[in-house]
């Protein structure tokens, strides 16, 4: 009987094992995770869960009984330390688990501040796991001062929660403008204004030169020489792909664990999916950190493990909730040379991107219709006329006919 072992019990790992069973795979499945809880969704951690609007059990992707009912051996609080040449994985406890096919869905780890900056101070928090957010939640008390480092989704979402909780918030985007890596200046302008309306002090192009406080962080001296007082710090400065196992096994790495169009690594018996995997798309190799990618890539890998031989060619999509605004993004806007703003000056806006005359992405803020139409156009490979998008009276749904 074929034995499949999946290392990593996050969104990708959980999606993959469920897909294997739904496709009729009858062999043994072992899903291994380091955390003490069943696979759960991460996006609400820095939003509804941190706000206290979602219970822990609602985070779980599936109830624990699902794994029992589907004969999936779910191994929690188990760290895998090695993959050996005899097709076995080795756990920190010394257990050896054999496999016929192995999937690395190891995800990533929140990037920490350098030890030369952080030292051994308390009051410095990362945002990645349930335990991270549980440790951080008591800090979010009205009247306290939060220092948030990072102008991406995680930093902005944490800043939004802090502001809604009545904290005094300073956000530093050390690498330049907010959302620099993931969205255009137009989208950054929208969210900068949104946060400023809620009292967040956004400092762009400024980082931390030195943290203050001995036992616990009390503030920071910034790279421009200014000083900010803080009761705690949240670092949302990126994610590092968890590639240690792949490296020790001699697998090819390239901005993550390199896989081919089908999700297979340089070892034909080992696959990878999710935040840890880089794959070819439109002539370049990328790594996507999103729920969409974790689910869709994992499910495609499950199919290919059973012989489907279907390439993974996604239309990436992302979302973020900040205050009363839902940001939805379809496609990848990097390298765009034209952007049109639809609904300028309104709460609901969408930003449409072209590169060399080809429609490539849409950012939609409280514009569900704009997002839906843009996503379907991308999926169909269609190229809308910019003049139609720019016309506020145009019926976007007509573009789908």
Residue ranges of domains in the chain, CATH in brackets:
3-109+239-306 (3.50.50.60), 112-235 (3.50.50.60), 324-400 (3.30.390.30)
DSSP 67: H
pLDDT given for residue 26 in this prediction: 96
pLDDT at 181 over 90: no
pLDDT at 401 over 90: no
β-bridge partners, 319: 328
Give Cβ neighbours of residue 224 (< 8 Å, ≥ 6 apart): 206
pLDDT given for residue 347 in this prediction: 80
User: pLDDT of 215-265, one tens digit each?
Assistant: 999 999 999 999 999 999 999 999 999 999 999 999 999 999 999 999 999
Three-state SS at 399: helix
pLDDT band at 351 (very low <50, low <70, confident <90, very high): very high
Cα(287)–Cα(273) distance, integer angstroms: 10
pLDDT band at 374 (very low <50, low <70, confident <90, very high): very high
How would DSSP label each residue in 79-144? -EEEEETTTEEEETTS-EEE-SEEEE---EEEPPPPHHHHTT-BSEEE-SSHHHHHHHGGG--TT-
User: pLDDT of 91-132, one tens digit each?
Assistant: 999 999 999 999 999 999 999 998 888 888 999 999 999 999
Cα–Cα separations (whole angstroms), residue 89 to 243, 250, 269, 354? 15, 14, 13, 46
- High-pLDDT (> 70) share of the chain, %: 100
Q: In what helix (H) or strand (E) does residue 363 lie, and over which residues does it extend?
A: strand 358-365
Cα(173)–Cα(184) distance, integer angstroms: 15
φ and ψ at residue 64, rounded to 5 degrees: -55, -30
Q: In what helix (H) or strand (E) does residue 187 lie, and over which residues does it extend?
A: helix 185-197
User: pLDDT of 307-333, one tens digit each?
Assistant: 999 999 999 999 999 999 999 999 999
pLDDT at 272 over 90: yes
For range 156-174, the mean pLDDT? 97
pTM of the model: 0.94
Question: Helices 291-305 & 11-22, crossing angle to 10 degrees?
Answer: 40
216: number of Cβ within 10 Å = 13
User: Are 285 and 278 a contacting pair, CB within 8 Å?
Assistant: yes
Cα(134)–Cα(165) distance, integer angstroms: 16
For range 139-154, the mean pLDDT? 96
User: Are 121 and 115 a contacting pair, CB within 8 Å?
Assistant: no
pLDDT at 344 over 80: no
pLDDT band at 163 (very low <50, low <70, confident <90, very high): very high
User: Are 90 and 259 a contacting pair, CB within 8 Å?
Assistant: no
| CB burial readout 102-131, b (16+ within 10 A) else e | bbbbbbbbbeebeeebeeebebbbbbbbbe
pLDDT given for residue 182 in this prediction: 84
pLDDT at 346 over 80: no
pLDDT given for residue 301 in this prediction: 98
Cα(294)–Cα(60) distance, integer angstroms: 15
For range 369-373, the mean pLDDT? 95
């Amino acid at each position: 009987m074929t034995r499949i072992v999946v290392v990593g019990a996050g969104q990708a790992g959980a999606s993959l094992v469920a897909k294997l069973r739904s496709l009729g795979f009858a062999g043994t499945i072992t899903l291994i995770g380091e955390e003490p809880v069943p696979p759960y969704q991460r996006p609400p951690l820095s939003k509804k869960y941190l706000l206290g609007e979602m219970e822990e059990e609602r985070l779980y992707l599936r109830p624990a009984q699902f794994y029992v009912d589907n004969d999936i051996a779910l191994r929690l609080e188990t760290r895998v330390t090695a993959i050996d040449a005899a097709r076995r994985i080795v756990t920190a406890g010394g257990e050896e688990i054999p496999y016929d096919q192995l999937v690395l869905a190891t995800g990533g780890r929140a990037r920490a501040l350098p030890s030369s900056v952080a030292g051994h101070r308390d009051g410095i928090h990362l945002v990645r796991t349930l335990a991270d957010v549980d440790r951080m939640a008591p800090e979010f008390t009205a009247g306290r001062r939060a220092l948030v480092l990072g102008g991406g989704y995680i930093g902005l979402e944490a800043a939004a929660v802090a502001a809604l909780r009545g904290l005094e918030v300073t956000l530093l985007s050390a690498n330049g403008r907010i959302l620099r890596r993931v969205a255009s200046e137009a989208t950054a302008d929208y969210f900068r204004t949104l946060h400023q309306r809620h009292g967040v002090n956004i400092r762009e192009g400024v980082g931390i030169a030195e943290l203050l406080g001995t036992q616990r962080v009390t503030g920071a001296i910034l790279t421009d020489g200014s000083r900010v007082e803080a009761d705690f710090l949240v670092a949302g400065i990126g994610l590092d792909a968890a590639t240690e196992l792949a490296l020790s096994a001699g697998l090819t790495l390239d901005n993550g664990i390199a896989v081919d169009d089908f999700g297979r690594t340089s070892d034909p018996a080992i696959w990878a999916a999710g935040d840890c995997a880089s794959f070819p798309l439109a002539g370049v190799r990328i790594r996507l950190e999103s729920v969409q990618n974790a689910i869709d890539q994992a499910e495609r890998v499950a199919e290919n493990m059973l012989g489907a031989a279907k390439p993974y060619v996604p239309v990436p999509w992302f979302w973020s909730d900040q205050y009363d605004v839902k940001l939805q993004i379809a496609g990848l806007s990097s390298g765009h040379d034209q952007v049109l703003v639809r609904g300028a000056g309104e709460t609901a806006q969408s930003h449409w991107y072209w590169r060399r005359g080809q429609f490539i992405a849409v950012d939609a803020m409280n514009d569900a219709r704009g997002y839906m139409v843009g996503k379907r156009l991308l999926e169909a490979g269609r190229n809308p006329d910019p003049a139609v998008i720019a016309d506020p009276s145009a019926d976007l749904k007509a573009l789908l006919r």
